[in-house]
Homo-oligomer: A and B are copies of this chain.
């Protein structure tokens, strides 16, 4: 076998693979590494708090550990549910180990982020990560120093102890020292936090950098929180052969009817029976008897069958129109905000919801096209905008149809939440091409754009009315004077009558009302418009 001499084969552990290809996970250079580290840790913190209805309070402290070598120390602390002591080593030291491989909306999904932080730290500074964690109501705080045995993909416990939990603290605190460029990463990190706050205005963040003026504090501006997602079962339309095989192995003797009802979302006995009729299989046949082509056929039919219920949105946790409007108003300070939370939809059996906000005027910097803020499962996507479906859709829209003339102060916020965000890479910065999602994004953006058009139209009318009223009043004054002179009638009485006449003709009761109206629209524009209609100017 000649090729044995010229080609050598080897197997890599997942840890070794990602050590060598860290760009894939977003750790492509010292600037990006700092950004990615903070992002991964903050997302874990948010998952550990808001998913359990705890108002997140997150502290981030950055220091120069050794400035001559570009060593940066990063500390992130949260008030979440903590990690059970015996799980800590694997959670930080084993690639592809996670609590998030569940059908439920999470910010993290790959079981990769925290391990990449550890891998990057030990590859650049050879220092372990320090983890302190206390689960809810724990008497102790668990403390570990951890590294990864890269060849084996196993945690290495450098030190371990438990501390008394005197103040009933719960949460997780991480400290890590790595090679990084904080001055360059700073702007990105701040932008990341600002945008995170936009969709999570119920969280508070403290960021303290190494320099005096390097501190920002983003306060909590509401205590309203979206309902946390529930954990779900797979939708019968989203299955593949491998998943069915794995489920069958749990209990091959289970009758088909029960198998369907037990393992899938929204499948009751009636639906299961209808489906089994459709496939032509008896309800009491043990599922383990499905083999080979019969099995594949069963799966194909599951995906073709149109009688399933729609995927449920209980596993999702959208931000909601009110909270989103509050977050956007607080961060962007616009004249007006319109928001929409679309109805749940699905792709390949995965439920998803698109939300959009349109912010107009006020402190928004005028620009030649709409400013875009993208979010997926409440995670802001900062890099790779040029490639994103949201940019594409917003650019395709003919904004003149919505009475927008550029340069304009217009920002579009789009949030996609799903039990499975189809990211195009493990760096989680762009979303893969999925027609169902594209179409929902388009509908959402159009919906808020229609609200803007109504708002602008009404503002124009009010301006017109105001102008008419001003002119009529002026002439009214002249007329009153003239009439009073001619008829010797009382001037004030005449003025009053003429003014009343003008108001009646213009259909306004008082000037105050008119001005108040305009102000109200600016304050509270959120939920107006012909919300769900699809009569659209063709674009």
Contacts and interface: CB of A to CB of B under 8 A. Distances in A.
A327 interface: no
Contacts of A62: none
A171 to B, nearest CB: 11
A24 B99 contact: no
Interface string A1-24: 111101111111110110111011
Contacts of A425: 24, 424-427
A97 B11 CA distance: 4
A69 B4 contact: no
A237 to B, nearest CB: 14
Contacts of A52: 6
A126 B2 contact: no
B138 A2 contact: yes
A510 interface: no
Given A11-B94, A423-B23, A81 B17 contact: no
Contact of A3 (B20, B32, B84): B84
A247 interface: no
A85 B2 CA distance: 11
A9 B81 contact: no
B9 A90 contact: yes
Contact of A81 (B3, B110, B296): B3
Contacts of A2: 81, 135-138
Contacts of A11: 90, 94, 96-97
B386 A124 contact: no
Contacts of A81: 2-3, 6-7
A438 to B, nearest CB: 12
A292 interface: yes
Copies in the complex: 2
Q: Which of A7, A83, A299 has the most CB of B within 10 A?
A: A7
Contacts of A432: 23, 28
Interface string A447-485: 000000000000000000000000000000000000000
Nearest to A435: B29
Contacts of A124: 240-241
Given A241-B124, A384-B387, A387-B386, A4 B84 contact: yes
A506 interface: no
Counting chain A residues whose Cβ lies within 8 A of the other chain, the interface size class is 35 or more
Contacts of A292: 126
A8 B19 CA distance: 27
Contacts of A296: 125-126
A300 B71 CA distance: 11
A254 B81 CA distance: 49
B423 A426 contact: no
A123 B28 CA distance: 32
A499 interface: no
B241 A98 contact: no
A240 B8 contact: no
A365 interface: no
Contacts of A433: 28-29, 32
Interface string A80-97: 011111110011001011
A102 interface: yes
Contacts of A3: 81-84, 135-136
A28 B125 contact: no
B9 A91 contact: yes
A124 B97 CA distance: 26
A502 interface: no
Interface string A46-83: 00000010000000000000000100000000000111
A361 interface: no
B1 A84 contact: yes
Given A2-B135, A423-B24, A432-B28, A122 B242 contact: yes
A353 B434 CA distance: 36
A24 B426 contact: yes
Contacts of A424: 23-24, 28, 425, 427
A287 B516 CA distance: 80
Contacts of A111: 12, 17
B28 A422 contact: yes
Contact of A101 (B12, B96, B122, B423): B12
A295 interface: yes
Given A3-B83, A11-B90, A386-B387, 15 more contacts: A1-B86, A7-B99, A9-B87, A10-B98, A10-B101, A11-B94, A12-B96, A12-B101, A17-B111, A19-B242, A23-B432, A28-B424, A124-B241, A151-B246, A425-B427
16 contacts: A1-B84, A1-B85, A1-B138, A6-B81, A9-B99, A11-B94, A12-B96, A14-B17, A23-B432, A24-B426, A28-B422, A123-B241, A126-B299, A150-B242, A150-B246, A151-B246
Interface of A: 1-4, 6-14, 16-17, 19-21, 23-24, 28-29, 32, 52, 69, 81-87, 90-91, 94, 96-99, 101-102, 110-111, 119, 122-126, 135-138, 150-151, 240-242, 246, 292, 295-296, 299-300, 384, 386-387, 422-427, 430, 432-434
